[in-house]
Amino acid sequence: MHAKADIIIRPLRQEDHAEWRRLWTAYLAFYETTVAEDVYRSTWARLFDDGHFEPRGLMAEIDGKAVGLVHYIFHRTCWAEGDNCYLQDLYADPHMRGKGVGRALIEAVYAKADEAGAANVYWMTQHFNDTARLLYDRVAKQTPFIKYQRR
């Protein structure tokens, strides 16, 4: 068992491509979906673009091994002067769950949002993602909103 102090959270680096792809692919598989090869390529490139509204990524490591990943995106809001921060993808290797990886990644996004003066950090999960929701209920508050999406 690793203590939280053993978890290192850092920005993605170009040399992380293989581990990023492994983690993101596992995340997508958890949600029973895939993306085209072009999306892998464009997402990886966007994670390193300079624009303020481009997605960003953080990697969690324990003992030098990648064990978790988060993507987040800043965007404007009409409800505040500061931007919102959308925590888009959060994933920890299954054998690392319950060891503080998810919490450390969320807290790192909170820190990035605070540093950027963001008005809010938010994310979505599926209602049956019970394991993750145990963590989410400790680090955030559930809202009453229901997501709709174009058909």
Amino acid at 112: K
Is 70 part of a structural domain of the chain? yes
Say how many domains are in the chain. Answer: 1
Q: Please check the confidence at residue 5 and state whether its pLDDT lies above 90.
A: no
Structure tokens at 59: 């990697």
Is 79 part of a structural domain of the chain? yes
pLDDT at 149: 86
Is 23 part of a structural domain of the chain? yes
Strands (E), 1-151: 7-11, 56-62, 65-75, 84-92, 120-122
Is 144 part of a structural domain of the chain? no
The domain containing residue 57 runs over which residues?
4-139
Is 60 part of a structural domain of the chain? yes
List, for residues 75-134, the tens digit of each pLDDT value: 999 999 999 999 999 999 999 988 999 999 999 999 999 999 999 999 999 888 888 999
Is 148 part of a structural domain of the chain? no
Looking at residue 37, which CATH number applies to its domain? 3.40.630.30
Is 149 part of a structural domain of the chain? no
